Amino acid sequence: MTARTVAEFPLPKERKAPFLIDDASIEAQIASLDREEYLSRPIVFITDKPRPSPSGDSHDYVSYGQYWWPDPSSADGRPFIRRDGDFNHEWMRLGDRAKYLHMLDSVEQLAKLWKARGDQESAARAGEWIRAWFVARETAMTPSFQYSQVRLGHNGDQGSDAGVLDGINLLVLLEALRLLESSAALSPDDVCQVKAWFGRYVTWLETSDNGRAEHSARNNHGTWYLAQVSSILLCLGRVEDAARYCAEDFARIDWQFDADGRQPIELQRADSLSYSQFNLHAQFHLAAIAARVGVDIWHHIAPQGGSLKSGLKFVAPYDVHPERWPFSQKKPLPPGVFTSLLEIGRRQWPGESF
């Protein structure tokens, strides 16, 4: 196996739309997709690394903290220091994040081609990607993010609790697996092994120091933790456990949203509009999963008056004019940052004006 260079996989843009796929609109989503490009993409592996893994195991996923920079007052730059809102793209490109997102994008689009058009070749290719990353002993990824968002000079150069956020992109894979259920992409044994991988991963989320720290986080990190764990548990058929995690969000909404919908914790960030959107994205995903297990987050109003609806109303005016946001936002945002969430909001709360 020949390792590919990091430059071949530039960091993709973060997705603004929720991870859950609307089956009714899949055909429109793939209308301009280059099917041949996705079928011909060479499969890349987590074990292809341009530099040795800090863990010593090439199967471990590795990424570097996006806001962490060498300390100019230190001879070797360690320990790295945090500069909120300033992306350290040079270090970010040294990890596995780009090829990990490249893999997930490939599986997602191939699964959509199968679902919309019954494209057997696309389903088969999606299965090859999934086996390479989650089944094959020689190339499969370790089911944890222990070395995610490494901050050099901190925690023995292991990952940080914030690195658990890298796992949210696996929600794309869960949706792709759902789309592929009626295909021949994966054998029954493959499916069992992929679910076993997720079973080990959710155990890591629940028992590791980093996972427990994210669970207790009061900001978007904690919301995304609940979204990850509940989605995985539902996929594994553990419905009662998924419902229990979803119900934790009632208390979280109370401390995350003021009655007027502002999110005071996210407003402390240098890019506070981005993080307000990011937390709403997590909340909307969690609410959709909760609805599948009989927990109604969409219509919950917290004792202090906060709710997902008020949260969306607060940011709605800045979808067209993000530059008018009255709080800190270092990174310029294009119009439409809330469009997908507003579309969901109109379906959830008919008659409301956003």
Structure tokens at 201: 């991963």
Residue 19's region, left for phi above 0, alpha for psi from -120 to 50, else beta, is: alpha
Residue 21's CB is within 10 A of a number of other CB atoms, namely 20
Whole-model pTM? 0.91
> Across-strand partners of 81?
69
Q: 229 with 214: CB under 8 angstroms?
A: no
Give the number of other CB atoms < 10 A from CB of residue 196. 14
How far is residue 98's CA from residue 77's CA, in Å, rounded to a whole number? 24
Q: How far apart are CA 306 and CA 300, in angstroms?
A: 9
Q: Is residue 16 over pLDDT 80? A: no
Give the amino acid at 13.
K
Cβ-contact 18, 175 below 8 angstroms: no
Q: Provide the 8-state DSSP code for 266.
A: G
Q: What is the mean pLDDT of residues 26-50?
A: 94
Which residues on neighbouring strands pair with residue 4, listed in sequence order?
none
Q: Which residue has the tokens 């502002």?
A: 262
Picking from 215, 291, 264, the residue whose alpha carbon sits closest to that of residue 300 is 291
- Architecture of the 18-216 domain: Alpha/alpha barrel (1.50)
* Alpha helical stretches, state H, the chain: 26-29, 35-40, 89-92, 97-117, 120-134, 170-179, 188-207, 209-216, 220-235, 239-247, 249-256, 272-292, 308-315, 339-348
Confidence class for position 159, pLDDT limits 50, 70, 90: confident
The tens digit of pLDDT for each residue in 269-324 reads 999 999 999 999 999 999 999 999 999 999 999 999 999 999 999 999 999 999 99
pLDDT at 2 over 50: no
pLDDT bracket for residue 53 (50, 70, 90): confident
From CA 81, how far away is CA 114, in angstroms rounded?
46
Distance CA 105, CA 175 (A): 12
How far is the C-alpha of 104 from the C-alpha of 133, rounded, in Å? 10
Query: Which residues touch 240 (CB under 8 Å, ≥6 apart)?
Result: none
Structure tokens at 42: 């060479």
- Whether the pLDDT of residue 93 is over 80: the answer is no
Where are the chain's structural domains? Answer: 18-216, 245-354
